[in-house]
Structure 1
Amino acid sequence: MSTLVRIIRQSILVSNHTQLRRMFGQSSTIAVGQMRSTSDKAANLDQVRELVARAKSRNACMLFLPECCDFVGENRDQTLEFSEGLDGELMAQYRELAKGNEMWLSLGGVHEQNEQGKIYNTHVLVNEKGELAAVYRKLHLFDVSTKEIRLRESDTVSPGDSLVRPVNTPTGQVGLQICYDLRFAEPAVMLRKMGAQLLTYPAAFTYSTGKAHWEILLRARAIETQCFVVAAAQQGWHNKKRQSWGHSMIISPWGKVLADCGCEELAIGTAEVDLSVLQNLYDSMPCFEHRRNDLYTLTAYNVPSAEPAQDRPFASNIVDRRTIFYESEHCFAFTNLRCVVTGHVLVSTKRVTPRLCGLSVAEMADMFSTVCMVQRLLEEIYQTTSATVTVQDGAQAGQTVPHVHFHVMPRRYGDFGHNDQIYVKLDERAEEKPQRSIQERIEEAQVYRNFLTDKS
């Protein structure tokens, strides 16, 4: 297991008591910062220290900093030269700053070195112990030409490959995004579906696009997701070629602006976040209950699994949660009682329904996405390049458990004398294969779960 994963797990454990208190309705003070980064990393760090001090003086439990809080390079070569890994000296100073002030820090977008000769635009959460709590790499890169600007972020930055599940913090479940991600409503909705109560959009919005769209987009994201929105911003001229709009904001789930830092170069805004208002809003305007999942849906791919929360029904049977190695919104994957080949696992819907034709659009999309993810997982673990993926839909098709499920079976060269013999063995396994022990299945599930955790 990687050091980063261990740090994140420890962070979740040590902060659990505080998180539970916040989750049950107590309000907290948060702060949003505004600054003007340049290519002077030391001066930028001094600005961050000042913002932390101001947030501390207002009893904020969490400070949100803007994108490029580490620096804004003069050119591509300088940006690559100045970037660091997450184990670098600058991150160590941020972590010490959080620990010394017992405050969570949202580092809205630092330049993270990668192995592709570029960087990631990386949003890092640091908890009050100075530990990394989450890492999100920007998905959408700002390659845009207008009358006023021309920027190609992809010349320097590699895109991230996954959303990050909302993170437990003293101010609730926080969903992480960065700048240009604001223009895409889909990730915001998916984060809300995964439990986000607050969305954050640290940014260095250009002056022209910020003037036209910044507040409108932020309020739209708050209203459509019914989440608090926090958007820390850069402000002013970073160099001769680049100017940012400013107006760091905190916005309520109703779309009301609770704090606005305006055009100040170095500023802090604060607001009380009371999570108890969310349930009242959900009850009075239950938008997410009214979504037509029978007609349309959004499914996030490549998102780390939540920990299995409970045993799951499988028709009239019960699947022990310890044998479940992956859960998505509507599906779960678990180790098999009788295997045709090594690595033979099952993927089923959480809702008990006998046939594929009984699934909603949301369940269909989630099921196929989960099956593809599981197939990729097994092929990586077992070093195979093929798989048999099958569903027996109805009794005459060989279905013995009346609950929609897929069989995913990694294949090896020559594993059956006749390739299609696998289907015969699938039908015969109940008579020919002894049941595996619960311990064997639990241990196998843990191998898969560890693999998924290490990759994330």
Structure 2
Amino acid sequence: MCASQWQSQAETIAVCQLTSDHDVDKNFEICKDMVKRATDRNCKMIFFPECFDYVGRNKEENISLATEENGAVMERFRGLAKESGLWISLGGLHNKDPAEPHLPWNSHIVIDAEGKTRALYNKLHLFDLEIPGKVRLMESEFSKRGSQMVHPIDTPIGRLGLSICYDLRFSELSLWNRYKGAEVLSFPSAFTVNTGLAHWEALLRARAIETQCYVVAAAQTGKHNEKRSSYGHSMVVDPWGAIVAQCSERVDMCFAEIDTSYVAELRKMQPVFEHRRSDLYTLHVNEIDNEYDRYHMPTIYSLRTSLGRSCPLLDVEDNSPMKFSEFTIAPESIFYRSGLCFAFVNLKPVLTGHVLICPKRVCNHLTDLTDAETADLFVVAKKVQRMLEKASAIGELYDSGNPNGPHPLTFRDEIVHNVSSSTVCVQDGPEAGQTVKHVHVHVLARRKGDFGCSPDNLYQNLATHDKRGSSASRDPTVRPRSQEEMTAEAAIYREAIKNI
């Protein structure tokens, strides 16, 4: 291509390097000046490192200075975004959890040019390092780890995947972001001097090369206090692994162009992700459905049931129903959603603690599932099984009839279940007892004598308890439950599974 035909599609970014200390106001003023400089350079986005708000002098200060995501520190940066028209990546807010203020999250937050939060990622991997006589940094003593993946987001510089510092060493997270469409990966960091000298550049270039993404790494540098120093060398690496911008070891900024057309060109030229042997290996992620998770964060209240008892329910607001073959499962009946599957309470349980899990995609047989769906289905089944066996929560379902067979369920306020055995099974096809043409896993909490002398009597009950067709083939002792009963049970499980 001749020079006259070439047109850059690149957008300029600013990458900031700080030496944050315990003075939050002073740190902000430095960041404010950097935003002004980035604006003068016509940047679209600016990246700040981990601990941009402060670095405490001890564990107690690291905890006590933490603020909430909607607190004063973030409001000042939202104001900067509005004034400058820049998107801002804030690499590691000490983010106080109102429910558990004793340990904050380490949160990477991206805000847009209007000051609105576009993504919030809580650091998954906490850096605990203790070398006697040399260095001791135990992040788990003043931060708590995140619990879910966050999808890449669209920004003015391309689709951005979020990580923080020590996450850099776990390549699966970067590969997952690439699978989810990332073109740029961000690693705001505060690497120690020893680990930075040995691995910083090598790790950043490796992540860029293996994912064919730009890598943006804003970093802390220098001496923060008597106990802590950081390596610095903030940098931008292109998808070929070339370092295109870098700071040295002082408070500074570097600038780089991000060209997503180059990302597309490189991936077309060397389509390594098309060459991966997914028939032999794969990347499985136990991914929580982020949209659902926004609403199942507990908003629990009590409601009087038709039995006159108080049952905990979830305010589901905008949760969507799901299809179970031709049936619609109300969101109030669903207590867990992963990326590919969902778990829900049973209309006609044969026992207390009989729930179902199925893929979101309607498939008749287990063999119709992709490998990713299969893995997710059984990872969720294990999680649900652990919950049914071990969890204690805010109420218990108990049987009101014959202890040797299926019967209606009512409620009392004690514990969910306390058992050490379960049945986990799939009825695949009509001859196996499948009545709903959507593959699903039965998970049942088992107790001694729950089906008389033989635990295997369960399978006869599974084959007949919800049989459609003639009344002769249907178990007359099992009645469909009301939505109110199922909602109450799902709310108990929804609360309990958060601790698994």
TM-score, normalised via structure 2 length? 0.70
Tell me if 1:368 matches 2:378: yes
Of residues 63-72 and 415-424 in structure 1, the stretch that sits farther from structure 2 once superposed is 415-424
Aligned pairs for 1:372-383 within 5 A: 372=382
Offset of residue 237 of structure 1: 1.7
| Residue in 1 that maps onto 2:441 | 406
| Residue in 2 that maps onto 1:188 | 174
Tell me if 1:173 matches 2:155: no
Amino acid in structure 2 at the alignment position of 1:301: N
The answer to whether the 8 A contact 1:296-1:362 is kept is no
| Residue in 2 that maps onto 1:11 | none
Of residues 34-43 and 189-198 in structure 1, the stretch that sits farther from structure 2 once superposed is 189-198
Offset of residue 242 of structure 1: 2.3
| Residue in 1 that maps onto 2:78 | 95
Q: How much is the aligned-residue C-alpha RMSD, in angstroms?
A: 4.4
Offset of residue 48 of structure 1: 0.7
| Residue in 2 that maps onto 1:47 | 30
Offset of residue 231 of structure 1: 0.6
Offset of residue 52 of structure 1: 0.9
Aligned pairs for 1:36-185 within 5 A: 36-114=19-97, 115=100, 117-146=102-131, 148-185=134-171
Give the total of aligned pairs.
Answer: 421
CA distance in 1, matches of 2:204, 2:60: 32
| SS at 2:376 equivalent | helix
CA distance in 1, matches of 2:112, 2:446: 44
Offset of residue 77 of structure 1: 2.2
| Residue in 1 that maps onto 2:215 | 229
Offset of residue 57 of structure 1: 1.5
The answer to whether the 8 A contact 1:142-1:154 is kept is yes
CA deviation profile, 1:158-206 (whole Å, cap 9, x unmatched): 2222222222322333221111111111211122223322211101111
CA deviation profile, 1:380-435 (whole Å, cap 9, x unmatched): 798643886431134432235676432457899999999877654543424159xx
Question: 2:463 pairs with 398, 408, 427, which one?
Answer: 427
| Residue in 2 that maps onto 1:239 | 225
Amino acid in structure 2 at the alignment position of 1:140: H
Aligned pairs for 1:275-354 within 5 A: 276-305=261-290, 331-333=340-342, 340=349, 345-348=356-359, 350=361, 354=365
The answer to whether the 8 A contact 1:349-1:363 is kept is no
Q: Identical aligned pairs, as a percentage? A: 41
CA distance in 2, matches of 1:190, 1:66: 22
Task: Flag structure 2 segments of 5+ consecutive residues without an equivalent.
Answer: 1-7, 293-320, 397-415, 469-473
| SS at 2:49 equivalent | strand
CA distance in 2, matches of 1:322, 1:265: 54
Amino acid in structure 2 at the alignment position of 1:236: G
Amino acid in structure 2 at the alignment position of 1:261: C
CA distance in 2, matches of 1:401, 1:348: 13
CA distance in 2, matches of 1:202, 1:184: 15
Aligned pairs for 1:14-25 within 5 A: none
| Residue in 2 that maps onto 1:200 | 186
CA distance in 2, matches of 1:56, 1:157: 33
Question: Rg larger in 1 or in 2?
Answer: 2
| Residue in 2 that maps onto 1:34 | 17
Tell me if 1:390 matches 2:425: yes
CA distance in 2, matches of 1:199, 1:211: 21
TM-score, normalised via structure 1 length? 0.76
Amino acid in structure 2 at the alignment position of 1:48: C
Question: 1:217 pairs with 183, 186, 203, which one?
Answer: 203
Amino acid in structure 2 at the alignment position of 1:365: A
CA deviation profile, 1:271-294 (whole Å, cap 9, x unmatched): 2332x3333333333332333333
Amino acid in structure 1 at the alignment position of 2:243: V
Task: Flag structure 1 segments of 5+ consecutive residues without an equivalent.
Answer: 1-24
Offset of residue 236 of structure 1: 1.7
CA distance in 1, matches of 2:89, 2:446: 45
